[in-house]
Amino acid sequence: MTAIDIASIRRAAERLSGRILRTPLLSSAMLDELAGCRVFVKAEPLQKTGSFKIRGALNKILATPEDKRNNGFVAFSSGNHGQAVAAGAKMVGAPAVIVMPKDAPAIKIDSCRWWGAEVVLFDRVTEDREAIGRRIEGERGMTLVPPFDDPDVMSGQGTMGIEIVEQLKEAGVEPDALLVNCSGGGLASGVTTAVKQASPSTQCYTVEPAGFDKMARSLAAGAPQRNERLTGSIMDALMAQMPGKLTLATLRENGVKGLSASDDEALEAMAAAFRTLKIVVEPGGAAALGALLARKVDLTGKTVVVVCSGGNVDPAMFARAIERRPEASARAA
């Protein structure tokens, strides 16, 4: 038995109803031509806080007994999860502390503070973010909101999968494949659980930064694998060092396979998403689309769902992506 199922995801959807957005599932003939298949993009940059993370964070917060909520919430995050916990805590009138790396994008640090959270910065090379978060949890009596390896968080992320299934049904299509960005695996495990329940034949893939593909290696090995390096990719949202135990078990149960994308491929995908869909995607949010456009797996002529998971990107990084020549995206295809 895995930590979550379609029933827990449906309970999360009921809990979150009216509190989050049903983000669109976008398509473009131009993007189809680039990818060589029919592509549907789940546009989570348009979600509250600019990423999918509000789904899991808010579900965890709402599932916390009210007397414990009053003490507040703590999270460790490179940014998107932190923003989601900060926003979710504000929604229920509770304080929040977010432990973030010093090199996190300024837009993410500023956003956490805008939501009213206290931000504690750390050095990701010399300090342990989880140890800092656990210390704050103990000292202040707060509730820790894990970034991925938690049933409430995973089920909350899975609500995106329910939306994808509904939107594909509305479009009258069946998905052959699903590509979803992966850090610790909370999003991928939740979404694949929902999609596979409705469409068992759909092949699901996680996508990670090249050289940091611990989930792909873990899925292949059948046991958790570690990323030795902590930095070295522009995809800051996908830099968890280890997969979650619960998330890995869930992904293995669903027969998920692992892919990776390079920084250049993520930048190409950001440019393609802007040109064809008119959406802003951050590097980590564009990994799955990057892998598809780079033909990391042969999906020619298939119907493919790609999750673009976030859009919290610094202006300079976004400019770096969209200033690439259009021909570069065509060559990537």
**24-81 confidence digits (pLDDT tens):** 999 999 999 999 999 999 999 999 999 999 999 999 999 999 999 999 999 998 789 9
Query: What phi and psi values does residue 260 have, to the nearest 5 degrees?
Result: -140, 165
Distance CA(71)–CA(11), nearest Å, equals 25
Equal fold, 6-52+150-332 vs 54-144: yes
The token pair at 159 is 């609500």
Residues 107-146 as b/e (b if ≥16 CB within 10 A, e otherwise) read bbbebbeebebebbebebeeeebeebbeebbeeeebbbbb
Closest CA to 318 of 240, 234, 207, 260: 234
* Domain 6-52+150-332 CATH (choose: 2.40.33.20, 3.40.50.1100, 3.40.50.300, 3.30.200.20): 3.40.50.1100
pLDDT of 118 reads 97
Furthest-apart CA pair in the chain: how many Å? 57
Distance CA(242)–CA(185), nearest Å, equals 10
pLDDT of 105 reads 83
pLDDT of 230 reads 83
Q: What is the DSSP letter of 295?
A: T
Q: Which residues of the chain have pLDDT under 50?
A: 328-333
Distance CA(211)–CA(231), nearest Å, equals 10
SS3 label, residue 157 = helix
pLDDT of 106 reads 86
pLDDT of 326 reads 54
HSE at residue 183, side-chain half, CA atoms within 13 A, is: 28
CATH 3.40.50.1100 fits domain 54-144: yes
Helix, strand, coil abundance in the chain, percent, nearest 5: 50, 15, 35
Query: Domain coordinates of the chain in residue numbers?
Result: 6-52+150-332, 54-144
